[in-house]
Amino acid sequence: MNITYQDNLHKNILIVDDLPENVLILSSLLKDKGYRVSSATDGKMALSMIKAECPDLILLDIMLPVLDGYQVCRTLKSQPETCHIPIIFLSGLDSEFDKVEAFKIGGVDYITKPFFLEEVIFRVQTQLEIVNQQHKFRQVLNQKIIEREMAERELNKSRALLTGVLNSSLDGVAAFEAVRDSQNQIVDFKWLIANPVAAMTVGETTQTLKGKRLFVASSSGHLFDGLLDLFIQVVETCTVLEKEYYYNSDSLKLWFHIVAVKLGDGIAMTFRDISDRKQIEITLKRANLRLTYQANIDSLTQIANRRRFDEYITQEWSRCAREREYLSLILCDVDYFKAYNDTYGHQAGDNCLYEVAQGIDRAVKRPADLAFRYGGEEFAIILPYTEGQGAIRVAEGIHQQIKDLQIPHTASKIGNIVSISLGVSSIIPDTRSSPHTLISAADAALYDSKLKGRNRVIYKSVEAH
């Protein structure tokens, strides 16, 4: 038994004809081809049989007792459960009217009696193949519909999940499409998606934002004002923009952390209000600056303290050693300061030290030249990139500045105003020695200044070792 014969066994053909000889011939022929065959001799009988079991194909005569073939066909085509059954009319009627009518009411083919057996077989096979292809197509279509419905359900789940994530996010989330001019240059962006936080931040709703332009002339001062070029760069170069951005307007002052990435011909962006964090950072930075200032500034004289002196001379010693440049140091001391305290009191002494320190600081001109309270009534001035003669001129300027203060000092043994003695030294540092070499030389110069009567500038070179 071949495959075609086996396939045909699953096909049921109903022959409706009132002539027994036609039924016998057709039944024998179709059964030989492997088809299952049943027959009816009138229209009413045919409808009853079809109701009991739907055939795969009907060979229907037109001229039948009780109900003719046209009535049978109309009845079958009017009912959903039978309208799909292909009907081939087998009739002795040969007029054009009958053929047109047969096709009009739903017949798929028309064979005129007397018929050729081979023709009948061919037309039956053709119609059953069409039915088979239609069945396969419906199966494929139904499968595609099922797959699409499943995909749509998954997509709807994903959309619902995404919407839930977006709507529950504490960050502003938005997507924008680039707006290009006739030269294909980006001139603006328009809103595609915005979550509630993003919409609320810009004073809109998620619906009113859709399609709106982001950078338009009438909206100067909006939240992203000034970021157009950066957004364009994200699209054109596929770079990621991450920026802390300060928005400052009459009605709103906020810090935002913005992250923007390329999305198609546009950008996807998240932004977060970090104003509280930035305020904490700014407060901490100011506090650290105050602590650093307090750690490096002498509270009485308001110039750098001894701690800062030790750091700075080490720093500049290394720098000048690398660059083979001079480093100079001035040490100075208020003359007969103990006698000043004894005469005017400690409060006046503190005021005197403050005025002297401020006078020294005014005499030091260059940014890299720093004055320090070295200890008690002693002060130091570090002069990077300054050779001996330059340091002596600075020292003489300081000496004159203190003289010009005209602070009374009746207990002084060298005059009636406050004066200072200064020792100066200079060196080109090297890595084999330490700043102590320069400090010792300047201290020796200060000692000579005091030994020679005070109120003067003495320079002493660094002794070679």
Residues recognised as catalytic? 377
The values of phi and psi at residue 42, to 5°, are -150, 170
Structure token pair of residue 92: 């002795």
Sign of CA dihedral 130, 134, 135, 139: positive
The values of phi and psi at residue 322, to 5°, are -65, -40
CA–CA dist 75, 98 (Å, integer): 18
Helical residues (DSSP H) of 246-387, grouped into ranges: 275-296, 306-323, 337-344, 346-363
Q: Which residues share a beta bridge with 203?
A: none
Of 319, 437, 304, which Cα lies nearest the Cα of 371? Answer: 304
CA–CA dist 338, 328 (Å, integer): 28
Is residue 167 within a helix (H) or strand (E), and if so which, with residue range? helix 117-168
Structure token pair of residue 185: 């240059």
CA–CA dist 274, 127 (Å, integer): 74
Angle of helix 96-104 relative to helix 69-77, nearest 10 degrees, comes to 20
